[in-house]
Chains A and B, each alone.
Chain A
């Protein structure tokens, strides 16, 4: 590998690790606003990575995906989420089913699993962008974990978004992205689902005066 390739691969690795750190912030923070900021920053990093990959690989459709991702994930969705938070005036503290120390430990374990299970593939790939696959798996797992343990609907949206980011990043780093049409579809899905869930959150708030998903149990009777 030439010097330039090493540097670029290391740079992408570092960005990947920074993305993972923002996801850890999502698990570790108790504030809704911080978690939305974390999402915005992660999306920005992701866009950066995809821009870099597009530049190095010279595949044009990644540029398009990068642009859409910049508009959608960095600006539109965080903006919309902030709008919902302001509108529903939710208490900014995030509530979790299990306590923080434990959830931090569990997320530590999840990251461990991600790194350990992708280890054989990384060695096969000859260390080039070695962090990308484990990090994307870890982000997906952490997103899932957040969805399971958090009570507030907005945090659950954030968990879903983290999962999507992880998958997008995995596709990007291993096979230079999915076909453009698929990516566009995914973006559209995400946008729609966020909007729908946002409205949904607003409705829950109106009905139950709280966005705690626990209160949805009352719908059973």
Chain B
């Protein structure tokens, strides 16, 4: 890897993830509005919201401590680091050497840890409720996530996402493995749970008793809220990117040629758009699950993932 690619690629990758993540949200909102026979807000509404929030001062609770004020930065930066660990346009990943998918999972945990702490920090009962539920959902999702990641890693023999992508690019029959199908299904459920979409959590609600993620970030405002919203948008995009570039890696550039990157970018947008569309369909056609039904769904994901890895071991 030359020095230019070491500088250009990370910047490019950050621009794609940071820049596109509000658009994904806007796209999902738009499609859902269409399903509800509404015109819906503009595709770029999330950008306007972010700019508006960033221009504002913040109101902070008197009871809150420095944890509350540090949380938005910790969350945002941890997601930015993850953005550099994931193959986006090219299968060579900027920070491939610093860590693997396990680091990614635990970096997500870092952001979540601080968010849940700050939810308790303001002494409001809603925050605590959101934090508690978020932790419950993410804990239940963790084993399924880890096992599906294991399945993929064991098929290829590496836990580095970039190496996984390039391995799948090189051999197409490697992907045609039933175990990977199961892992894919499990990962889909996990991603829905992790990003707080319907049927696990409703990202649009502000009704006290139903909110999970929104309850947790209820007390944030201004710049803080902008950072957290942006981070959660990026989290969705990053998880979709992992899904897309691991299981459908076609078109991802293996080198760093200009045309390769352009093609890769176009396909990337199409693939992400497709999954965003699927999420919109899912959200429009399902109701939110009751809180204590969620473990059942995540349990199903766990079974799928454990099945994936066992079938990999037994059948090969």
Tell yes or no: B262 within 8 A of A by CB: no
- Residue from B293, B299, B304 in contact with A30 in the complex, judged by beta carbons closer than 8 Å: B293
Asked whether B315 lies within 8 Å of A108 as measured between CB atoms, the reply is: no
- List, in ascending order, chain A residues with CB within 8 A of B136's CB: none
Asked whether A14 lies within 8 Å of B299 as measured between CB atoms, the reply is: no
Tell yes or no: A111 within 8 A of B by CB: yes
- Say how far B304's CB is from chain A's closest CB, in angstroms: 7
Tell yes or no: B176 within 8 A of A by CB: yes
- List, in ascending order, chain B residues with CB within 8 A of A7's CB: 173, 176
Asked whether B303 lies within 8 Å of A108 as measured between CB atoms, the reply is: yes
Asked whether A100 lies within 8 Å of B299 as measured between CB atoms, the reply is: yes
Asked whether A11 lies within 8 Å of B315 as measured between CB atoms, the reply is: no
Tell yes or no: A131 within 8 A of B by CB: yes
Q: Cα distance A130–B316 when bound, in Å?
A: 8
The proximity string for B residues 274-316 relative to A, scoring 1 for CB distances below 8 Å and 0 otherwise, is 0000000000000000000101110110111011001100111
Asked whether B185 lies within 8 Å of A21 as measured between CB atoms, the reply is: yes
Given contacts A30-B293, A122-B314, A130-B316, is CB(A104)–CB(B173) below 8 Å?
no
Asked whether B176 lies within 8 Å of A127 as measured between CB atoms, the reply is: no
- A162-217 residues with Cβ-Cβ distance < 8 A to B are none
Tell yes or no: A28 within 8 A of B by CB: yes
Asked whether A104 lies within 8 Å of B296 as measured between CB atoms, the reply is: yes
- Say how far B307's CB is from chain A's closest CB, in angstroms: 6
The proximity string for B residues 65-78 relative to A, scoring 1 for CB distances below 8 Å and 0 otherwise, is 00000000000000
- List, in ascending order, chain A residues with CB within 8 A of B297's CB: 28
Q: What count of chain B residues pass the 8 Å CB interface test?
A: 24
Tell yes or no: B181 within 8 A of A by CB: yes
Given contacts A111-B307, A127-B316, is CB(A100)–CB(B296) below 8 Å?
yes
Q: Cα distance A144–B311 when bound, in Å?
A: 21
Tell yes or no: B190 within 8 A of A by CB: no
Q: Cα distance A112–B177 when bound, in Å?
A: 18
Q: Cα distance A21–B300 when bound, in Å?
A: 9
- Residue from B176, B177, B307 in contact with A20 in the complex, judged by beta carbons closer than 8 Å: B307
Mostly, the A contact residues are helix
Given contacts A30-B293, A119-B314, A134-B311, is CB(A24)–CB(B173) below 8 Å?
no
Tell yes or no: A156 within 8 A of B by CB: no
Total of A-B residue pairs, C-beta within 8 Å: 80
Tell yes or no: A6 within 8 A of B by CB: yes
- A62-85 residues with Cβ-Cβ distance < 8 A to B are none
Q: Cα distance A145–B203 when bound, in Å?
A: 37
Q: What count of chain A residues pass the 8 Å CB interface test?
A: 32
Asked whether A101 lies within 8 Å of B307 as measured between CB atoms, the reply is: no
Tell yes or no: A157 within 8 A of B by CB: no
Given contacts A10-B176, A10-B177, A14-B176, is CB(A21)–CB(B182) below 8 Å?
yes
Asked whether B303 lies within 8 Å of A122 as measured between CB atoms, the reply is: no
- Say how far A158's CB is from chain B's closest CB, in angstroms: 17
Given contacts A6-B173, A30-B293, A101-B295, is CB(A24)–CB(B300) below 8 Å?
yes
- Say how far B118's CB is from chain A's closest CB, in angstroms: 31
The proximity string for B residues 126-148 relative to A, scoring 1 for CB distances below 8 Å and 0 otherwise, is 00000000000000000000000
Tell yes or no: B99 within 8 A of A by CB: no
- List, in ascending order, chain A residues with CB within 8 A of B179's CB: 17
- List, in ascending order, chain B residues with CB within 8 A of A48's CB: none
Asked whether A111 lies within 8 Å of B296 as measured between CB atoms, the reply is: no
Given contacts A10-B176, A21-B304, is CB(A116)–CB(B296) below 8 Å?
no
Given contacts A7-B173, A10-B176, A101-B296, is CB(A116)–CB(B303) below 8 Å?
no
Other CB < 8 Å A-B pairs besides A13-B177, A14-B181, 12 of them?
A6-B173, A7-B173, A11-B176, A18-B181, A21-B185, A28-B296, A30-B293, A104-B302, A104-B303, A111-B310, A115-B310, A116-B314
7 pairs of A and B residues whose beta carbons are closest in the complex: A130-B315, A17-B178, A104-B299, A10-B176, A28-B300, A13-B178, A100-B296
Chain B contacts to A: CB under 8 angstroms: 173, 176-179, 181-182, 185, 293, 295-297, 299-300, 302-304, 306-307, 310-311, 314-316
Chain A contacts to B: CB under 8 angstroms: 3, 6-7, 10-11, 13-14, 16-18, 20-21, 24-25, 28, 30, 100-101, 104-105, 107-108, 111-112, 115-116, 119, 122, 127, 130-131, 134
16 contacts across the A-B interface (CB closer than 8 A): A6-B173, A10-B178, A13-B178, A17-B178, A17-B311, A18-B181, A20-B307, A101-B296, A104-B302, A107-B303, A108-B303, A111-B307, A115-B310, A122-B314, A130-B315, A131-B178
